[in-house]
Amino acid sequence: MSVASGQALHAALLRLLRRPRSSRRCFQRIHALLLTSGLTVDSFAAADLAALLPACLPPPAAFATINHIHRIRRYRFPLLFNSLISGYARSDRPNLGIAVYKTMLADGIFPDHYTFPVVLKSCIEFSGVAEAKQIHGASVKLCFASDLFVQNALVHVYAICREYDDARVLFDEMPLRDVVSWTGLISAYVKGGLYREALQLFSSMDVARNAATFVSILVACGRFGDLNGGQMVHALVLKHECGLNLVAGNALLDMYLKCESLAEAKQIFDELPERDIVSWTSFISGLVQCKQPEQAIDMFASMRASGVEPDNVTLSSVLSACASLGSLCSGRWVHEYIHRNGIKWDVHLGTALVDMYAKCGCLDIALNTFSEMPFKNVSSWNAVIGALAMHGHGREALGYFEQMVGIGMNPNEVTFLAILSACSHSGLVEEGRCSFNLMTESYNLPPWIEHYGCMVDLLGRTGLLEEAYKLIQTMPMRPDVHIWGALLGACKAHGNQDLLQEILNHLLKLEPHETGVYVLLSNAYAARGRWADVTRVRKLMRQKGIKKETGISIVEVDGEAHKFVVGELQNLQEDILVASYTLDKLLQLDDL
């Protein structure tokens, strides 16, 4: 075979292997060609192919292929194994990367300085710190511990596994650090939620930052809602010579959205030189988080119109938009789209479906969807418990909680919000008290202000006003307008005038710019017929330029959504065909 035809064949094989659904039979033919063509003589061409094997072959076949090439060519060096490990580290089965590493050692092939970074990447994705420590030991034994790439990978893996002290010692003792050393540690801090540490490291960098560094720190700013910090990093990015690549542009976009700065996000989005599925999905999910579900659906339609098809991540956010709108027909459309287009199922998508069906009134379908989920995480359990809570099935919600604990799934703070809300909606006072205590006593979860809010609501609804007031006085944080509002509502319902006056005094001491305070005050005065005070509060609001945001409820009936303005049902009922509009948007583009 000539060199030219060999190269052409190599290119053709790579193209075939890169196809997402290369069949096994197809691969066998490729493999036969590969061996007979002599291409495996070129070890780098073979290494390229080895890295692609995990994506298209089951592990035994991939492994057999490498062994076959090794036997035929009598290789005794680790190049092909490194490639295979790297392929697995990037696949959804990174544990196989570690298996390849172990087999390689057992076969008497020594790892080199390329092996350690790739096998450590497999540890990050799969097995954790115990395996990483063993690999660290092996790297020292084989004299690769002073290699910069190996050190960078070790610092990163220890920090990702939350072994921050070990990571920091290794980092501090490095004789030479490059931008990857710094960014590797910063990104691990960000993933672990150590925002301050990440920021501190970012400011003390003594090498030039690059796009990856900016991306990691932008993620941190977004996650912590630090708009000022994000804007400062934005300015640094603009000053930096590397320019704005797609990943950095997307990170900026997402930062602005997470900080709920829609105008700046829109500007970034408009100015992006190109947009990929991440740009669109960031925008869609950002709009949902900013409580703009209708705009999110519009954006989804624009995305499809531009020729970008959604994946499982996009559709999770779209389902969340449908849930916020209460739009069952749109949610069903997404469900069918997933089936029709063979979208990859994952726990996010399943959880979003459970939530969507529950919020659109279909509790039975939500429960069925949940039971059919092959893998459930704590969020999935929270979604199903929340579903039962919002439908008033308190006892069943508690039953699911027991099941969850029974299988060894640890509840988190959100689980207890769902449980307390279930107890509140079903009047289960004693169960609520027990759950509230369980949080701290058994799970070491200090209650958030929202948990106190649920408890005040639960106690207040059943007339236990004094107990609710005492609980507020024991709170470790300052009670906000929602806490006082919950007690105020209970006082009005149970006619306790003395406590009501006391609450009004507390409300007046709260943050003067808090809109809710004025609304509560005004409503409370109105309920007591003190119209002069009502006028005084309203005037004060006008003077301060405070405008009450209108609460809205959407209820879908026979595919038509009706929007209600909260608290003013008789006067301001508006029928807006939100769901039909939404569905039309989706259907228009269905045949694209």
Partner DNA sequence: TTAGGGTTAG
Looking only at residues 498 through 557 of this chain, which bind DNA when binding is defined by CB under 7 A? none
Binds DNA by CB under 7 A, chosen from 40, 65, 86, 435: 86
Extract the runs of DSSP E, i.e. beta strands, from 435-514: none
Nearest distance, CB of residue 498 and DNA, angstroms? 32
Lookup: tokens for 46: 């073979």
Where in 560-589 is the site for DNA (CB under 7 A)? none
Where in 381-440 is the site for DNA (CB under 7 A)? 382-383, 386, 412-414, 417-418, 421
**Closer residue to DNA (CB): 157 or 578:** 157
Where in 188-207 is the site for DNA (CB under 7 A)? 191
Nearest distance, CB of residue 247 and DNA, angstroms? 4
Binding segment toward DNA, per CB under 7 A, in 184-192, 363-371, 401-409, 491-499: 184-192
Nearest distance, CB of residue 187 and DNA, angstroms? 4
Cα dist from 159 to 221, 429, 453, whole Å: 19, 44, 36
**Closer residue to DNA (CB): 417 or 507:** 417
**Closer residue to DNA (CB): 277 or 405:** 277
DSSP 384: H
Nearest distance, CB of residue 278 and DNA, angstroms? 3
Where in 298-337 is the site for DNA (CB under 7 A)? 310-314, 316-317, 319-320, 323
Neighbours of 375 (CB within 10 A): 9
Q: At what angle do helices 227-239 and 246-258 cross, to 10 degrees?
A: 160
Question: In which element (H, E) is residue 583 found?
Answer: helix 578-588
Complete DSSP assignment for 260-318: T-HHHHHHHHHH-SS--HHHHHHHHHHHHHTT-HHHHHHHHHHHHHTTPPP-HHHHHHH
**Closer residue to DNA (CB): 40 or 316:** 316
Where in 346-385 is the site for DNA (CB under 7 A)? 346-349, 351-352, 355, 377-380, 382-383
**Closer residue to DNA (CB): 216 or 496:** 216
Report the alpha-carbon distance of residue 178 to residue 206 in Å, rounded. 9
**Closer residue to DNA (CB): 288 or 468:** 288
Where in 441-480 is the site for DNA (CB under 7 A)? 450
Nearest distance, CB of residue 119 and DNA, angstroms? 10
Nearest distance, CB of residue 494 and DNA, angstroms? 25
Straight-line distance from the first to the last Cα atom of the chain, in angstroms, rounded to the nearest whole number: 45
Report the alpha-carbon distance of residue 556 to residue 467 in Å, rounded. 39
Lookup: tokens for 590: 């269905």
Nearest distance, CB of residue 522 and DNA, angstroms? 26
Site string for DNA, 90-119 (x = CB under 7 A): -----------------------xx-xxx-
Cα dist from 545 to 24, 240, 475, 512, 565, whole Å: 68, 41, 32, 12, 21
Question: What 3-state DSSP class applies to 350?
Answer: helix
Binds DNA by CB under 7 A, chosen from 99, 105, 145, 148: 148
Place of tokens 């945001």: 549
Nearest distance, CB of residue 357 and DNA, angstroms? 11
276 is an interface residue for DNA by CB under 7 A: yes
Lookup: tokens for 4: 């030219």
Nearest distance, CB of residue 528 and DNA, angstroms? 31
Place of tokens 């649920």: 454
Binds DNA by CB under 7 A, chosen from 135, 288, 398, 423: 288
**Closer residue to DNA (CB): 320 or 582:** 320
Question: What 3-state DSSP class applies to 128?
Answer: coil
Binds DNA by CB under 7 A, chosen from 65, 261, 282, 424: 282
Binds DNA by CB under 7 A, chosen from 9, 100, 199, 215: 215
Report the alpha-carbon distance of residue 369 to residue 309 in Å, rounded. 24
**Closer residue to DNA (CB): 126 or 149:** 149
Number of residues that bind DNA (CB under 7 A): 76
42 is an interface residue for DNA by CB under 7 A: no
Report the alpha-carbon distance of residue 580 to residue 558 in Å, rounded. 10
Where in 236-255 is the site for DNA (CB under 7 A)? 245-248, 250-251, 254
Binds DNA by CB under 7 A, chosen from 281, 435, 522, 582: 281
Binds DNA by CB under 7 A, chosen from 14, 26, 277, 546: 277
Nearest distance, CB of residue 274 and DNA, angstroms? 9
279 is an interface residue for DNA by CB under 7 A: yes
Nearest distance, CB of residue 123 and DNA, angstroms? 10
Nearest distance, CB of residue 572 and DNA, angstroms? 26
Report the alpha-carbon distance of residue 55 to residue 270 in Å, rounded. 35
**Closer residue to DNA (CB): 207 or 499:** 207
Binding segment toward DNA, per CB under 7 A, in 162-170, 173-181, 532-540, 559-567: 173-181
Extract the runs of DSSP E, i.e. beta strands, from 452-576: 552-557, 560-565
Helices and strands in the chain, H and E counts: 34, 2
Place of tokens 């005070």: 533
**Closer residue to DNA (CB): 180 or 524:** 180
Report the alpha-carbon distance of residue 10 to residue 37 in Å, rounded. 10
**Whose CA is closest to 275, among 253, 259, 258, 260?**
253
Secondary structure of the chain: what % helix, strand, coil (to 5)?
70, 0, 25
**Closer residue to DNA (CB): 79 or 546:** 79
Report the alpha-carbon distance of residue 82 to residue 70 in Å, rounded. 13
Report the alpha-carbon distance of residue 140 to residue 443 in Å, rounded. 40
